[in-house]
Amino acid sequence: MSTQRMNIQEIDPKAYQPMIAMEKYIHAGTLGEALLALVKIRASQLNGCAYCLDMHGREARNAGVDNRRVDVLAGWQEARAMYSDREQAALALTESMTLISHGGVSDAIWAQVKAAFTEAEIPVLLMAISAINVWNRLAVTTHQALPDV
C-alpha cells in the first residue's frame, strides 16, 4: 500500500467545501442512496480508487443494496437482470462519462438515460457522476489512506 502523499482536509479544509455543497445537492435529489452508491462504486472501479470503493461499498450495503449486486457490479452488463432499467442507464452513463475520452456519451446511452430518468433528475445524475470522478482523482492522486477497520 502506498503512503499517503497529502491530507487535503488537514492542509486546507476549505478546499472540500465546494464538493461538500455538490454532495448535498446530489443527495437532496430523488435518485436514491442505493442508485447513487452503485454509480459511485462503478466510477471508482474504473478509476481504481480503493478509498472510494471501500466507502461506497459500505454505503451501498447500508442503503440496502444486496451484496451480490455489489460484488458483480464490475460485470453488470453480463448480469443485466440484476439491475433495473434505471440502474442500467445510470451505470452506462457513468462508464461513458468516466471514460469520456473513449468516444463520449453515445446517443443510444443518452436515450436510455432520458427514458429512465425525469428531466429534473438528469442534472442530478450528471453532477453525481462528475462529483465521484473528482473525488476519485483527488484520492488516487494523494494516495488517500483507507480508514482503519
Structural domains present in the chain: 19-142 (1.20.1290.10)
Note the pLDDT of residue 145: 86
Q: How confident is the model at residue 147 (pLDDT cuts 50, 70, 90)?
A: confident
pLDDT digits (tens, 9 = 90+) for 10-36: 999 999 999 999 999 999 999 999 999
- Which residues, in sequence order, are CB contacts of 80 under 8 Å at separation 6+? 88
How far, CA to CA in Å, does 28 sit from each of 10, 32, 33, 61?
A: 27, 9, 10, 19
